[in-house]
Amino acid sequence: MTSITSVELNYLVFRYLQESGFTHSAFALGYEAGINKCTIDGNLVPPGALITFVQKGLHYLEMEANLSNSETDMDEDFSFLQPLDLITKDVSELQQMIKEKKKNQQKGRDKNLDRENEGELKQARERERQTREREREKDGVRTEDKEREKQHEDHTDIKKVTDQEDMVIVKHEENGICGGADPMDILTTSISEACEIPNSDVIVLEGHTSEVCACAWSPAGSLLASGSGDSTARIWTIADETSRSSLQNGPSNVLVLKHVKGKTNEKNKDVTTLDWNGDGTLLATGSYDGQARIWSTNGELKSILSKHKGPIFSLKWNKKGDYILTGSFDKTAIVWDVKAEEWKQQFEFHSGPTLDVDWRNNVSFATSSTDNMIYVCKVGETHPIKIFPGHKGEVNCVKWDPAGSLLASCSDDITAKVWSMKQEKFVHDLREHAKEIYTIRWSPTGPGTNNPNKQLLLASASFDSTVKLWDVELGKLICSLNGHRDPVYSVAFSPNGEYLVSGSLDRSMHIWSLKDGKIVKTYTGNGGIFEVCWNKEGDKIAASFANNTVCVLDFRM
């Protein structure tokens, strides 16, 4: 009999975690089980392979338990068992359960037969009694009914017509609520048809050979960076005069930044995160191999930063551009001295993998982790300068507001929270989502921004398929943007703060007007969307897709 190996089982579990959206768990298993070293060709493994495998095993057990000892065919009254029984009991126990179940069923059938016979006799007697009563009533009221019918004949005819019209109206209303499409489905469909971005306004960037996890526009202008599971990052030149045809498979417009020599698609070289420095002259990438790399805009590898002992999940330049901050699966955060090309300080406070990092200013920053904690640290300090406990689940994302006074966080505990350096307890606890919140973003509005007279907003994106906008002064929900059908992985505000773009696993990207909360433009690609971002001018949006592509959309209202 063929048996499954531990390597094969680990790979199936790894794929199941990835496909189910358990990104952090997949990273952890992949790293500890050495998935990158296994010889299994992932392209040959179909989606849902683990579920299919388990279901087939349960079916086999069920068939085996239902086979009688003396016959090779199935019993006529095939007994279906509960999955938990199939998993926890051996075949002999299952067969005994089936025998007892059959005995009980037979007893039940005998009792039901007796009840049915008794019930039929009672029903026959009752029908006979009712028949006699109806005959007596008919004799007494027949004459009176005839006179009434004659007197109200005209009135009855009019009422019949009115009743028929009312029934049609009620039926239409009921169909709209219960029998037809969901009201939100109707709204979304009509919006999509009216506002769908035409293909002529979309550039599809092809070249990656695995899912594209990250994308970021250079603050200097026309360069777009993308990072992929194919162990490469790419820098694309997206000029206004660039045509769609010249960018598709056009090597002159793209630089390939290889993270491994030789073949690509090595899982331990996945580019998991990337970020441009403030003036757009350098690109930093973080990889599954635990190394950070710095590249020039012409594709030259400037330096490799090695100290982490696990995959890098997040990476950020400070505003000044002299430090890079990284957070890793190894539970630590490291500040790197870019000029010296070495680590400046390692921060080892978390008890679980570090999921996100964000600079408050040039020397202090926040970190979040699977341990539910948030730490605010400072270069040169050996202890956190602030500790924010309060979340009950993994803290997926932390972001400082533009002024650096408020910190927002979101978690698997289905809440987002707003914190202040002036107190340890959260300022606001935002609880309107129905599932885990994956990411958050501040609007580029309010104090410290180019739009100081506009209200500061916080956006949160969730696995419940919604994006919610919050008034951070009051801690209240302003509106819920309901248009996606699957988890929303990324959101980004336009530079002028008037629009918000959201990207979802439902393959669609919606652009929302923040004035009325309505979709003004939408685009549907051929894969789930992992990240969306605006260029600095606000006239182009990029999105990274699971089908190995990056799309660039022209946006002009």
pLDDT tens digits for range 206-262: 999 999 999 999 998 899 999 999 999 999 999 765 445 445 444 458 999 999 876
Give the amino acid at 11.
Y
Q: Tell me what pLDDT residue 166 has.
A: 35
Q: Give the residue with greater pLDDT, 45 vs 351.
A: 351
Q: Which residue has the higher pLDDT, 462 or 157?
A: 462
Spatial contact of 421 and 376, defined as CB atoms under 8 Å apart: yes
pLDDT value at residue 195:
87
Would the pLDDT of 452 be above 80? yes
Residue 84 confidence class, pLDDT cut points 50, 70, 90: low
Q: Which of 100-114, 253-267, 397-411 has the lowest mean pLDDT?
A: 100-114
Distance CA 263, CA 210 (A): 13
Which of 140-149, 187-196, 492-501 reaches the highest mean pLDDT?
492-501
Q: Is 511 exposed, middle or buried (0-12, 13-18, 19+ CB in 10 A)?
A: buried
Q: How far apart are CA 448 and CA 360, in angstroms?
A: 13
Among 85-94, 168-177, 227-236, 364-373, name the one with the lowest average pLDDT: 168-177
Least confident of 181-195, 263-277, 411-425: 181-195
Tokens standing for 536? 């600095």
Q: Give the distance from CA 459 to its chain's centroid.
A: 15
What pLDDT was estimated at residue 199? 85
pLDDT at 52: 77
pLDDT computed for residue 483 by the predictor: 96
H-state helical runs in 211-254: 244-247
> Cα 11 vs. chain centroid, distance in angstroms?
22
- In 411-485, which ranges are continuous DSSP H helix? none
The CA-to-CA distance between both ends of the chain, in Å, stands at 65
pLDDT at 50 over 90: no
**Residue 184's pLDDT is what?**
35
pTM here is 0.69
User: Does 47 or 473 have the greater pLDDT score?
Assistant: 473
Q: Is 214 exposed, middle or buried (0-12, 13-18, 19+ CB in 10 A)?
A: buried
Lowest-pLDDT choice from 184-193, 215-224, 287-296, 460-469: 184-193
Taking alpha carbons only, the member of 19, 17, 73 closest to residue 46 is 19
Residue 151 has pLDDT above 90, yes or no: no
Phi and psi of 11, rounded to 5°?
-65, -40
User: Residue 76's pLDDT band (boundaries 50, 70, 90)?
Assistant: very low
Across the chain, mean pLDDT equals: 82
Please, how many CA atoms are within 13 Å of residue 158, restricted to the half-sphere of its CB? 3
pLDDT of 468 strictly over 80: yes
In the predicted model, what is the mean pLDDT of residues 464-484? 97
The pLDDT score that the predictor gives to residue 58 is 66
pLDDT at 158: 34
9, pLDDT greater than 60? yes
Residue 5 predicted with pLDDT over 70: yes
Model confidence at 264, pLDDT cuts 50, 70, 90, reads: low
**Whole-number CA gyration radius for the chain:** 32
Q: pLDDT tens for residues 353-392?
A: 999 999 999 999 999 999 999 999 999 999 999 999 999 9
Q: Output 325 or 34, whichever has higher pLDDT.
A: 325
Pairwise CA distance, residues 18 & 35, whole Å: 13
Whether 100 shows a pLDDT value over 80: the answer reads: no
* Backbone φ/ψ region at 404: left (φ over 0), alpha (ψ -120 to 50), beta: left
Tokens representing 526 are 């051929």
Instruction: Report d(CA 208, CA 1) in Å as an integer.
Output: 40
Assess contact for 549 and 557: CB atoms under 8 A.
Answer: no
Q: How many CB atoms lie within 10 A of CB 218?
A: 21
For 60-97, give the DSSP string. Answer: HHHHHHHB-SS-SSBPSSPPP--HHHHHHS-HHHHHHH
Q: What is the pLDDT of residues 508-523, one digit of tens each?
A: 999 999 999 999 999 9
Q: Which residue has the higher pLDDT, 97 or 253?
A: 253
**Confidence at 175, pLDDT banded by 50, 70, 90:** very low
Parallel, antiparallel, or unpaired for β 232-237 and 406-411? unpaired
The Cα 557–Cα 210 span in angstroms is 33
Of 524, 542, 546, the residue nearest 199 (C-alpha): 524
Q: Which residue has the higher pLDDT, 365 or 145?
A: 365
**Is 59 or 119 the better-scoring residue by pLDDT?**
59
Q: At what angle do helices 6-19 and 23-33 cross, to 10 degrees?
A: 160
Shortest CA distance to 214 belongs to which of 439, 482, 465?
Answer: 439
- And the tokens for 397? 């994302």
pLDDT of residue 42: 75
pLDDT value at position 146?
A: 45
Tell me, what's the pLDDT at 260? 84
Q: What's residue 194's pLDDT?
A: 54
Q: Average pLDDT, stretch 266-285? A: 91
Structure token pair of residue 182: 């969901």
Residue 142's pLDDT is 46
Integer Cα distance of 375 and 350 in angstroms: 8
More confident residue, 58 or 272: 272
